[in-house]
Amino acid sequence: MADTVKLITPIDGSVYAERPIATDKAVDAAVEAAKLAQMDWAQTSIEERGRLCLAALDALLAMNDEIVPEIAWQMGRPVRYGGEKGGVEERTRYMVRIAEQALAPVVENDRPGFRRYIKHVPLGVVMVIAPWNYPYLTAVNTIIPALMAGNAVILKHAAQTLLVGERFAQAFEKAGLPKGVFQNIVLSHAQTEKLLGSGRIDHVNFTGSVAGGRAIEKAAAGTFMTLGLELGGKDPAYVLPDVNLDHAVANLVDGAFFNSGQCCCGIERIYVHENVYDRFVDGFIDLTKQYVVGNPLDAETTMGPMAQTRFADLVREQKAEALRKGAKAHVNLRVAKDIAGSPYLAPEVLTGVDHQMSVMREESFGPIVGIMKVRNDEEALALMNDSQYGLTASLWTTDTDHAAKIGDRIETGTVFMNRCDYIDPALVWTGVKETGKGGAMSAIGYGNLTRPKSYHLREAI
């Protein structure tokens, strides 16, 4: 087994960072430190926990000028977008703000002579296994509410974004968080599975592939730990005939191609009502052709390389299969290095697609989208629900009531209207089918990071 993890940058294929894998002894020490620290942390007031979490946020934001190019080197997102500080700040401040109310005991006062209430008790040690695609946002979704709820946190970040875990650790250290309450460790897959099966972790949150989620469930089998799993997605959009067309085109192009399409809730398939289909497709293609693909460190670059070569090659395979089956490609940008075996990949828009093609059924997680014409809501609903995934779906219309009615029939975790690819921290982030289970953010997110404990106290008689 290799004793280090190497981070290969998609910019030029070089080794950007290398870190030693923790020894089994170090892993055991980290878990013991977390368990000991959590006991005192659980007795710390919510107000004080919030103060420390906000101090860590300030420390993280102060590093942003260094973090932005690090993200580009690690996973390829262009520096022009400024990192993830806006979303990290919004989610952190919201979850800290609602903590007192969300974690307040549920009191029953209808029986004289008794004191009855339910407390939200921390689970203990929470492990966060974070992905590379939005390395700060996906991690903060669980780290902050887990800490606010009184848990200790162990973070294992993706090999592709090794430095992110270190940045979190630096921020919490600078904030003065008690030692052991938050730890970042570098683990192999085998060590991760062993730790999850040890019974010493009380909750794991994993964001990644369906196969990865199944591996997590298998590793945790029999431990009775709780799980939060955000897995694959194939998020649809439905453009209705009363749409604000310019708004829909601009937002759906961004929703499909931002971050080189490597978004958990990115738009991967679009269904457009026949009355607006031609105009929508023309506008969508024209805007997509404006992307500048290149080195993410260059200010003019609007789309960087995909994080790894194999991800880009998967998209190439989906496109080739679709074309063999009769689809039409419309963008055909000439991009330097866009060849098999390269992470650099031009965005593509396909029409003439159907659900016999993998590009409309399997997660692409890259800069490609298929657009289909539909006759009515029923056809759009059938196609949107014809998927093993269900993270988000977006509806593009001026009729809010109609959108809500359609939304009731979509098998998904979040229904959007006239927006997409966004997490609102006030609403639970969840999915259905093979997208996973559990939920992050909102008061419900706190419920998933605590356990209920009932008190039934009969007063003196």
DSSP helix/strand/coil, 455: strand
Distance CA 272, CA 373 (A): 5
Catalytic residue (choose from 47, 173, 193, 230): 230
> Is 414:427 a contact under the CB 8 Å cutoff?
yes
Amino acid, res. 364: S
> Is 203:449 a contact under the CB 8 Å cutoff?
yes
Distance CA 31, CA 180 (A): 9
Residue 72 burial (C-beta neighbours within 10 Å; 0-12, 13-18, 19+): buried
Nearest Cα neighbor of 328 from 288, 366, 281 is: 281
> Does the active-site annotation cover 230?
yes
Distance CA 198, CA 261 (A): 36
Beta-sheet strand order (sheet of 106-108)? 106-108, 114-122, 450-458
DSSP helix/strand/coil, 68: helix
> Is 234:362 a contact under the CB 8 Å cutoff?
yes
Q: What residues are labeled active site? A: 230
